[in-house]
């Protein structure tokens, strides 16, 4: 199992996916506020305000409370990537199912950006005027590339096994 290259790709996806779960992917900032500029970071854990770190003596009682409902969609997509990659590792005896789930994982990694853009649009209109992706938002793209490489190797293994069966 561990001697196969696709297993190493899938392990890298698991590690990167768990890292993504704890890192912020979007940053929101509003500089037009009269009191002080506010900035927020969005991660799978929710929306956190980073203004408090910049202004420790600020009176936050005058600031309106900001929340982002429906964060469970981003959390679900974030946690589903490493869990599904971990499950795919142990399906090495059923290569066809492993390849199909790898293709589904690829679509999930690309779909993560759709979910992230929905939250960026929502945050731009309801929380702050400006948004920007952070460095950690490239992890799903890296996972998508690793998943495509993994699926290709799985299908190559299946072709090799079928060719060996024909020779018997």
**Each residue of 131-147: pLDDT tens digit?**
888 899 999 999 999 99
Q: Is residue 59 part of a domain?
A: no
Q: How far apart, in whole angstroms, are the C-alpha atoms of residue 78 and residue 83?
A: 9
Higher pLDDT, 34 or 129: 129
For position 133, which CATH number holds?
1.20.140
Q: Is residue 91 part of a domain?
A: yes
Number of domains in the chain: 1
Specify whether the CB–CB gap between 15 and 32 falls below 8 A: no
Q: Is residue 161 part of a domain?
A: yes
Model pTM score: 0.82
Residue 63 has pLDDT above 80, yes or no: no
Q: Is residue 112 part of a domain?
A: yes
Q: Is residue 63 part of a domain?
A: no
Domain span at residue 118 reads: 5-54+68-167
The predicted-structure confidence for 97-125, as pLDDT tens digits, reads as follows: 999 999 999 999 999 999 888 888 887 77
């Amino acid at each position: 199992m561990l001697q196969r290259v696709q297993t190493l790709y899938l392990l890298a996806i698991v590690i990167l996916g768990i890292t993504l779960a704890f890192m912020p992917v979007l940053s929101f900032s509003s500089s037009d506020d009269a009191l002080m500029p506010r900035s927020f970071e969005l991660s799978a854990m929710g929306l956190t305000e980073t203004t408090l770190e910049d202004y420790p003596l600020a009176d936050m009682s005058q600031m309106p409370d900001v929340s982002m409902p429906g964060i469970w969609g981003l959390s679900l997509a974030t946690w589903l990537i490493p869990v599904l990659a971990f499950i795919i590792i142990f399906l090495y005896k059923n290569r066809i199912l492993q390849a199909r789930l790898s293709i589904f994982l690829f679509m999930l990694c690309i779909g993560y950006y759709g979910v992230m853009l929905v939250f960026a649009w929502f945050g731009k209109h309801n929380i702050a005027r400006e948004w920007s992706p952070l460095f950690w938002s490239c992890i799903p793209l890296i996972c998508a590339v690793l998943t495509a490489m993994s699926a290709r190797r799985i299908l190559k293994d299946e072709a090799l096994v079928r060719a060996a069966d024909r020779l018997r």
